[in-house]
Amino acid sequence: ATLLPPLPTSPPPHAATLTMGKVHGSLTRAGKVRNQTPKVAKAEDKPKSPKGRAFQRLKYNRRFVNVETGPGKKKSPNSNAT
């Protein structure tokens, strides 16, 4: 069995560049952004959207059944133009 030389106990040369300690700021500033944003009133209740099978049916009807073909390009599903 060969004996290995003892490992150096001094820190590696790049260890001096690492900043050890505080990273994320003090707790006195916690919640600063949320507290200074203006309060926005809740929107009025809207009817709930269908879920599951009913929503798939709604999408099918919207895409394939009620198709309005007109002159020009196809209207995108996200367009709000009438």
Q: What's the pLDDT at 80? A: 84
Residue by residue, DSSP assigns 1-58 as: -PPPPPPP-SPPGGGGGSPPS--S--GGGTTHHHHHSPP-PPPPP-PPPP-THHHHHH
Model pLDDT for residues 46-63, shown as the tens digit of each residue: 899 999 999 999 999 998
3-state SS assignment for residue 82: coil
Is the pLDDT assigned to residue 13 strictly greater than 80?
Answer: no
Model pLDDT for residues 30-47, shown as the tens digit of each residue: 889 999 999 999 888 889
Q: What's the pLDDT at 37? A: 93
